[in-house]
Chains A and B, each alone.
Chain A
Amino acid sequence: MSTVTAPAARVAPAKRPARAIPKGRGGSPVRRAENRAAYLFLLPWFIGLFGITIIPIAASLVLSFTDFDILSPPSWIGLDNYEKLLTGDRRFMNAVDVTIRYVGFSVPLILVFSLTIAVMLNRGLSGLAIYRSLFYIPSLIGASVGIGILWREVFGERGIFNHFIALFGFEGRGWITHPNYALDVVIALNVWTFGASMVIFLAALRQIPNSYYEAASIDGASALQRFRRITLPLLTPVIFFNMVLLTIGSFQSFTQAFVVSRGTGGPIDSTLLYTLYLYQRAFVHLDMGYGSAMAWLLLLAIAAMTAFVFWTARYWVFYGDR
């Protein structure tokens, strides 16, 4: 980066003298003491970062090239785990398929649902804080084991959902134990946790100046036109933000499918999300090397997906200041 020297005539009178750059590498003794104190305070975070994030991530990369059952020392097998995953593992391909369907339905549904509710709540509703909290609560508890168990009971063959639809003459079934419907139930549980996205949309909606809407109204724009021409374009950065977060989070979903299927990913692997299969291989069958390879493939897939979404952003995300 180059430094541009401004013409003398345009230089504003200095309000205070420019700060002198210390000559020594560490600055003054006081500055050095401050730095030491800062690093001391940061030390617990650094220990955590390296101890439970960086080093385990690096270790998992090494382990992905080994045959490791956690109870015996690992043995080096090169790319065998990756080769088997990509060419000879039926359940892996099934888990990829289930996860893509899960992400593909969950993310758009959450975006549409949370945006719709946010727009409704943004219409000067009285008791907004209460409604906002009510809608937000599921996103806090939705990924918990307790809610997973509740969901399993609600959509079980003798669950309250079947009693409810029976009032309208519909015949119930075991929604979580039938391969055609089990994934839908897990997706519904994920969509139910739309509150976090909704709160972000709500905050973004409040940032849009009323004058835009007033000007559009004077010009005769209908409510739908105002939404399409003003709200939606100005919300695209937030839609983009929510989409990236939801996509990454949905790829990593685990608890809901684990609890609803009692850890099996069944019936017939219909709820076998990628992370659930990874867990089964690593912690049920003690195939840690294989599990590590799966984790790295997931990391690469999420990175590729995120990069793709970022690349598309230039075509549909509108930043007002550009």
Chain B
Amino acid sequence: MSARQQSGFGRAYRQICTTVAAAAVAGAIGAQAPASAQEELEGEIRFSWWGGQLRNQKTDQILQLFEEENPSVTVVRENSDWLPHWDKLTIQSAAGNQPCAIQMQTRWLATYAKPDILRPLDDLLEAGELDVRGIAEPVLQSSRGDDGQLYMIPSGVFFFAMMYNKTMLEEAEFELPSDSWTWDDFAQLIRDIAPKLPEGVNPTHNMGREQDSFVTWVQSQGYPVFEGTKLGFPEEVTVEWFEYWEEIRKAGLTDSPEEAIADNGSLIEESNIANGRTFVTNRPPNRLDSHQQVMDAVRPGDQLSILPYPSAEDGTTGMDLGANGIAIGATCPEELVPVAVAWINFFTQDPRAAAIYESDNGVVAVDRFQDEQANGPNTSRGQLEQILIFQEVAPGAKPINWPSGGFAAMTQSLNQAYDAVAFEALTPEEAASQFASEMDDLLN
């Protein structure tokens, strides 16, 4: 690893570089049962989470189990879609009305990780109230705020990858790329396979505007994405990224700029990859099963699969890694904190909860459930692929320390900058400069 890499990846990277090994350590040190498990619980708490219908059903099912075991406890359900979840939490936090239990994510944690918004959890952890058995120490540590306090108990670990049509690859008589494939290998594969794909199929979705693809590129070039609240890489890296995708686009190997924008925000049912209109794209691995369901209806027999992002020529990988979990609102009354703690313990540690949730929102953070799901007879192919690829990429992953507002700023600024290049309104150099200045404006 180069010196510039080490300087930039920050606290989370230093702590997560050996995820699998640390998981074993965490399992060994966390054998103590939580003290709150023996208490009689009563009261009403609110729990807010994000997700679609399937995840809502699963969460509700787990909540019902929890309420059955604690008959004096009621949990008020507050579910939203992804973005409204954060809008609502912001308003609730400003009004001091945040729920006792809040689903949280490391990408957004910096915005809310303040003692007057989220309750620091270190005292509950030290007292043995919170149960973190089997959660890898690096993953747990990535749930700390800038002030070093723990604000979230991780329940699932997520990453981004590429999703491709395995059947098209096989019918074109190409081999699956090796684990150590590079960005050049990817471009070459797209060029080679294009003539052999069915008519009307885009060889690749244009990922120039995709934030998760871009940060992987940046990190694979040996740079951190952020240094505090500043971008951690020079403009040339952005220029190269734009030029990389422009070369592929101008060769007619991507979807059109209009189609790329539409596909970026489309529902799974409308997405090009699920409808067999694109050979490869970027998608969260936990959506593989949902995409496959659509594909089964549209192109029966075709199989989708996932594979890690390419690395740099020197083998440097750039995979980001993040965690979803549950936090406790700072305004949660002290007498209800044990209820919120019990709910967190139940959601993250109860085997029935893990079996219901099935790594739906990131690979389950508790290692024993991860192994169970990987070897379970009822585990779906999508879940299994997700877990196996996670175990493959986790040791080399580089979790990004997202500053407050960094995720929204990055998504917006990159979209605008690359769209301007793709519609030929700006040169890659101009767009990279615009991207850098707007990130600086939004973050500082």
Chain A, interface size category, equals 20 to 34
Query: Which residues of chain A from 149 to 166 have a CB within 8 Å of any chain B CB?
Result: 156-157
Among the listed B258, B408, B416, which residue makes an inter-chain contact with A157, where contact means beta carbons less than 8 Å apart? B258
B65 interfacial contact with A, CB 8 Å: no
Q: Is B261 a contact of A174 with CB atoms below 8 Å?
A: yes
Among the listed B90, B425, B438, which residue makes an inter-chain contact with A70, where contact means beta carbons less than 8 Å apart? B90
Q: Is A268 a contact of B425 with CB atoms below 8 Å?
A: yes
**Interface residues of B: mostly helix, strand, loop or mixed?**
helix
**Interface residues of A: mostly helix, strand, loop or mixed?**
loop
Q: Is A174 a contact of B425 with CB atoms below 8 Å?
A: no
Q: Is B419 a contact of A266 with CB atoms below 8 Å?
A: yes
A71 to B114 CA separation, bound complex (whole angstroms): 9
Per-residue CB contact flags for chain B residues 421-444 toward chain A (1 = under 8 Å, else 0) read 001010000000010001001100
Query: Which residues of chain A from 8 to 44 have a CB within 8 Å of any chain B CB?
Result: none
Q: Is A285 a contact of B425 with CB atoms below 8 Å?
A: no
Q: Is A268 a contact of B405 with CB atoms below 8 Å?
A: no
Q: Is B423 a contact of A267 with CB atoms below 8 Å?
A: yes
A286 interfacial contact with B, CB 8 Å: yes
A132 interfacial contact with B, CB 8 Å: no
Closest chain-B Cβ to A65's Cβ sits at a distance in Å of 19
Closest chain-A Cβ to B226's Cβ sits at a distance in Å of 16
Q: How many A-B residue pairs have CB under 8 A?
A: 69
Residues in B whose Cβ lies below 8 Å from that of A231: none
Closest chain-A Cβ to B364's Cβ sits at a distance in Å of 30
Residues in A whose Cβ lies below 8 Å from that of B408: 284-285
A71 to B94 CA separation, bound complex (whole angstroms): 6
Among the listed A157, A174, A286, which residue makes an inter-chain contact with B90, where contact means beta carbons less than 8 Å apart? A286
Query: Which residues of chain B from 101 to 119 have a CB within 8 Å of any chain A CB?
Result: 111-112, 114, 117
A246 to B438 CA separation, bound complex (whole angstroms): 34
Q: Is B423 a contact of A285 with CB atoms below 8 Å?
A: no
Among the listed B87, B114, B258, B405, which residue makes an inter-chain contact with A177, where contact means beta carbons less than 8 Å apart? B258
Among the listed A173, A267, A285, which residue makes an inter-chain contact with B405, where contact means beta carbons less than 8 Å apart? A285
B259 interfacial contact with A, CB 8 Å: yes
Residues in B whose Cβ lies below 8 Å from that of A177: 257-259, 261-262
Per-residue CB contact flags for chain A residues 132-174 toward chain B (1 = under 8 Å, else 0) read 0000000000000000000000001100000000000000011
Given contacts A177-B262, A179-B425, is CB(A264)–CB(B412) below 8 Å?
Answer: yes
A178 interfacial contact with B, CB 8 Å: yes
Q: Is A264 a contact of B415 with CB atoms below 8 Å?
A: yes
Residue in B closest to A159 when the chains form the complex, CB atoms: B262
Residues in B whose Cβ lies below 8 Å from that of A264: 412, 415
Given contacts A179-B423, A266-B415, A285-B409, is CB(A174)–CB(B111) below 8 Å?
Answer: no
Best-buried of A89, A266, A269 by chain B (most CB within 10 Å) = A266
A72 to B110 CA separation, bound complex (whole angstroms): 13
Closest chain-B Cβ to A167's Cβ sits at a distance in Å of 21
Q: Is B423 a contact of A268 with CB atoms below 8 Å?
A: yes
Which are the 6 A-B pairs with shortest beta-carbon distances?
Answer: A174-B258, A177-B258, A177-B261, A70-B94, A262-B265, A267-B419
Taking beta carbons and an 8 Å cutoff, which residues of B are in contact with A?
83, 87, 90, 93-94, 111-112, 114, 117, 256-259, 261-262, 265, 404-405, 408-409, 412, 415-416, 419-420, 423, 425, 434, 438, 441-442
